[in-house]
Copies of this chain bind each other. A is one copy, B any other.
Amino acid sequence: MTRTGKGRAELTEGPIREAMDRKQAREHEFEGLSYLRVTDDAHGLSRGIVAVGGEVVPTYPHIGRIFVLREGVRATFDAPFRAEEKIDGYNVRIVRSGGKLLAFTRGGFVCPFTVDRLPDLAELDPLFDEDPSLVLCAEVAGPGNPYLHGQVPHVSEDVAFFGFDLMRKGRSGFVPLDERDALFERHAIPRSRVLGDFAPDDFEGLRRVVLQLDAEGAEGMVLKPPAEGKRVKYVTPAVNLADVVEDASLLAELPGEFFASRIVRLAIGLDELGLEGRSGEMAERMGHALLEDFEGTVRQFRQEGIVTRSFDIRMRSEERLELLLRQLDQSAKSVNFKEISRERRDGYIHCRLAKQYQRSTSWLHTIMRGGSVID
Using CB atoms and an 8 Å cutoff, list the residues of chain A in contact with chain B. Answer: 62-68, 70-76, 230, 232, 251-252, 255-261, 263-264, 266-268, 270-271, 276, 279-280, 282-288, 290-292, 294-295, 297-299, 367-375
B294 touches A279 (CB 8 A): no
- A-side interface mostly: helix
B298 touches A287 (CB 8 A): no
Contact flag A258-B261 (CB < 8 Å), given A64-B374, A370-B76: no
Q: How far is the CA of A232 from the CA of B230 in the complex (A)?
A: 54
Q: How far is the CA of A371 from the CA of B73 in the complex (A)?
A: 9
Residue of B nearest to A258 (CB): B256
B298 touches A370 (CB 8 A): no
B298 touches A288 (CB 8 A): no
B263 touches A251 (CB 8 A): yes
A284 touches B295 (CB 8 A): no
Task: Report A229 CB to chain B, min CB distance, Å.
Answer: 13
Chain B residues positioned under 8 Å from A290 (CB to CB): 263, 283, 286-287
Q: How far is the CA of A263 from the CA of B289 in the complex (A)?
A: 11
B283 touches A267 (CB 8 A): no
Task: Report A48 CB to chain B, min CB distance, Å.
Answer: 15
A372 touches B64 (CB 8 A): yes
B286 touches A291 (CB 8 A): yes
Task: Report A67 CB to chain B, min CB distance, Å.
Answer: 4
Chain B residues positioned under 8 Å from A294 (CB to CB): 263-264, 267
Instruction: Sample 12 A-B pairs with CB under 8 A, ordered by A number.
Output: A66-B371, A67-B368, A70-B370, A72-B367, A76-B372, A252-B260, A259-B260, A261-B375, A263-B291, A268-B368, A279-B292, A284-B287
Chain B residues positioned under 8 Å from A64 (CB to CB): 372-374
Given A70-B370, A279-B292, A284-B287, 8 other A-B contacts at CB below 8 A? A63-B374, A65-B373, A67-B373, A261-B375, A280-B292, A283-B290, A284-B284, A285-B287
B268 touches A291 (CB 8 A): no
Most buried by B among A259, A267, A292, A294: A267
Task: Report A131 CB to chain B, min CB distance, Å.
Answer: 30
A266 touches B279 (CB 8 A): no
Chain B residues positioned under 8 Å from A73 (CB to CB): 370
Q: How far is the CA of A75 from the CA of B292 in the complex (A)?
A: 27
**A369 CB contact (under 8 Å) in B71, B268, B279, B283:** B71
B264 touches A252 (CB 8 A): yes
Chain B residues positioned under 8 Å from A258 (CB to CB): 256
**A279 CB contact (under 8 Å) in B76, B255, B282, B295:** B295
Contact flag A65-B374 (CB < 8 Å), given A256-B255, A284-B283: yes
Q: How far is the CA of A287 from the CA of B267 in the complex (A)?
A: 12
Q: How far is the CA of A66 from the CA of B283 in the complex (A)?
A: 30
Chain B residues positioned under 8 Å from A256 (CB to CB): 255-261
A68 touches B287 (CB 8 A): no
Task: Report A121 CB to chain B, min CB distance, Å.
Answer: 29
Contact flag A368-B68 (CB < 8 Å), given A251-B264, A256-B256, A291-B267: yes
Q: How far is the CA of A62 from the CA of B73 in the complex (A)?
A: 49
